[in-house]
Amino acid sequence: MKHLTRNVGIACIVCSVLTGCSTHSRHSSEASSSNSVQPSGIQIESSVREQVSWMLDAFTPIAGQALPNKSVLAAYEFRNFEPIWIKDQRLDSSIYRLVEILDQAYSHGLNPVHYHLQTIKEYLALKKPTAQQLAELDVITTIALSSYAHDISNGRYEPHLIDPNWQLDAPSNDWKNLLFLDSPAHMVNYLPTLAPRQPDYQVLQNWLAFYQELAQKEGDVHVDYGLLLRLGDQSPRVAQLRARLVQLGDIRFSARKITENYFDQELQTAVTRFQKRHQLDADGTVGTQTIQALNVPLEERARQIAYNLERWRWLPSQLEDNRVWVDLTDYTAHIFLNERTERMKVVIGKPDRKTNVFYGKMTYMVVNPTWRVPMRIARESLLPKQQENANYLTEHGYHVYSSWSIGARQLDPLTINWHDIQPEELRYRFEQAADDENALGRYKFMFPNKFDIYLHDTPARHLFNEGVRAFSSGCIRLERAEDFANLLVAGYRKGQQQLADARESQETRVVPLNHSLPVYLVYFTVVPNTNGMPEFRNDIYQRDALMKEAMGYSPLKAKDSI
């Protein structure tokens, strides 16, 4: 289980041991007798058993927190409470390799503070540790290892606690396996294999390091606001623009001589490149919106990348070869099917009717579907339109039924006094017939889910010409639904015939798929583009703000804050 926050109080509690208080005071006689001699293995093992119980009981989960107590306890029970990191009264050298890995946690967008790094270092600095201190070091190191293994594999935070609309979470138990490997060296070496292996994750990691290093070593090059900058202009602001684009990687180093403050063709090309990867109008001129994007601090960009690394950790470690990947922030469906790849524009939910992030399995399609209008849409959209126009339902092919129950009577909308009905009182069921006016178009692609979200056709073709395509009530409208239907039955003769028959009949027909097809509705605000550059997208649903509130993350190592 992931968690919204994890208590870092271990450091606070055990640091008292290092200063001669708390637990240490309860064992002062042992400490005094052990400082002059090396503790025995029996002494350490006895203390490990005591410290595992004491430490794990001390850290009670609060709020959304979940500690890996059971996994750590099981690991020690498996070894009959023998120390993991200490053999023959000597520290295993792998503990230092683990410290190096934890020290680099920020390269994954994680905070080393959460893994008790400083406390472990303080224990390692002790010249003559007691048996109790060695036991405490062993236990806290195992807790750190377990926590990091979980976080790098599954993500540190529980996604639906950050954002209720985010329901895609694919936790893996693989991280627990390393706690039962036969040596600390094998455990530490196993850690890197737990991070997501998706190419996008690895590319984003590189860009996170790039922005972290830039922010710490160079700082931000600022572009002053002013009049529109365009090809042929010459001013000090052009020099600022050029310097910022060089810093961000949109202008590659060139040995040719240039005039820094002159807006030449190369600079225009770089501006266009920058605009495309920030979802701006790519016109090659620099106005207020482009300058705003240019002036977003490097540290903020690093933070955005860290949020998206966490989102990758919420996904399955292995994605299916055949799948539909609907990228909500890009308004695009990527279809991977039978070694073919297709891209289609999509329309997603409005900001006040967000499309949920989740996973499902498509099992059938409906040809010439009727549309049973969800009650929310009926109350918020249909009722006001019918109150304005008494013939609206009839003109648009809607049938009205007395209730949502099976066998409900069909009613004549002209016999109902719609003006006397308040939205919260509406109980009728509305269904739109299968025709050219139907909101679902000619195809509906079903992957049963609790949100009643699906992919479908649409008669509102003009919306696909828009750049920002958030106009639906939550479902996904496909640009080329007919092509998608053909792809689903390609190579499946029975399905092809059923699809052809359904089209010809003009009746509502169900066409089962030969195999279920995984469907992912995902949300990323930073992705690598085709050139490997980071593409910073508009946060249409304001989900990054929720990540920021939950993570409280500083992306720069020097600021290791919680």
Domain count, the chain: 3
Q: Is 529 part of any domain?
A: no
Domain boundary among 152, 169, 195: 195
pLDDT band per the 50, 70, 90 thresholds, residue 58: low
Q: What is the mean pLDDT of residues 410-419?
A: 94
pLDDT of res. 316: 92
**Is there a single domain that holds both residue 358 and residue 402?**
no
Dist CA 133 CA 166 (whole Å): 43
Average of pLDDT values for 396-413?
A: 93
User: Which of 64-73, 396-405, 447-456, 471-480 is predicted least confidently?
Assistant: 64-73
Is 275 among the domain residues?
no
Least confident among 59-68, 251-260, 553-562: 59-68
Q: Could you tell me if residue 99 is inside a domain?
A: yes
CA–CA–CA angle 240, 242, 246 (5° rounding) = 115
Which domain CATH number covers 348? 2.40.440.10
Rounded to 10 deg, the angle between the 199-217 and 298-313 helix axes is 160
Instruction: Please report which helix (H) or strand (E) contains residue 359, including its range.
Output: strand 358-367
Share of the chain above pLDDT 70, in %: 87
Q: Report DSSP state, residue 264.
A: -
Does 459 lie in the same domain as 398?
A: no
To the nearest whole percent, how much of the chain has pLDDT over 90?
72
451 and 473 share one domain: yes
Helix (H) or strand (E) holding 266: helix 265-276
Asked if 13 and 142 sit in the same domain, the reply is yes
For residue 359, tell me if it sits in a domain. yes
Q: Examine the fold and report which residue of 158, 174, 195 is the final residue of a domain before the chain moves on.
A: 195
Task: Pick the last residue of a domain from 166, 195, 224.
Answer: 195
Which domain, by its residues, includes 476?
Answer: 319-370+435-523
Same-domain check for residues 366 and 486: yes
DSSP, collapsed to helix, strand or coil, labels residue 186 as: helix
Helix axes 9-18, 41-58, angle to 10 degrees: 140
Whether 356 and 387 map to the same domain: the answer is: no
Residue 519 lies in a domain: yes
The predicted-structure confidence for 184-235, as pLDDT tens digits, reads as follows: 999 999 999 999 999 999 999 999 999 999 999 999 999 999 999 999 999 9
Q: How far apart are CA 454 and CA 449, in angstroms?
A: 9
User: In terms of DSSP bridges, do strands 470-472 and 340-349 run parallel, antiparallel, or are they unpaired?
Assistant: parallel
CB contact at 8 A, 116 and 105: no
For residue 217, what pLDDT is reported?
93
Residue 272 lies in a domain: no
> What is the per-residue pLDDT for 17?
43
333 with 422, same domain: the answer is no
What distance in Å separates the CA atoms of residue 40 and residue 43, rounded to the nearest whole number? 5
Q: What is the pLDDT of residue 414?
A: 93
Is 168 within the bounds of a domain?
yes
- Does residue 361 sit in the same domain as residue 387? no
Q: How far is CA 122 from CA 19, 149, 491, in A?
A: 11, 22, 64
Active-site residue list: 456, 475
In whole angstroms, what separates CA 536 from the centre of its chain? 14
Mean pLDDT of the chain: 87
The pLDDT tens digits of the residues spanning 262-290 come to 999 999 999 999 999 999 999 999 999 99
Query: H helices of 180-256, where?
Result: 184-190, 199-217, 236-248
Exposure string over 174-184, b if 16+ CB within 10 A, otherwise e: ebbebbeeeeb
Tell me, yes or no, whether 252 lies in a domain.
Answer: no
Dump strand ranges (E) for 269-320.
Answer: none
Residue 452 and residue 337 share a domain: yes
137 and 168 together in one domain: yes
Examine the domain organization and report whether 333 and 397 are in the same domain: no
Looking at the structure, do residues 186 and 98 belong to the same domain, yes or no? yes
Q: Say how far apart CA 264 and CA 323 lie, in whole Å.
A: 44
pLDDT band at residue 25 under the 50/70/90 scheme: very low
pTM: 0.87
Give 461-512 as a DSSP string: GGGGGSSS-EEESSSEEETTHHHHHHHHHTT-HHHHHHHHHHHHH-S-EEEE
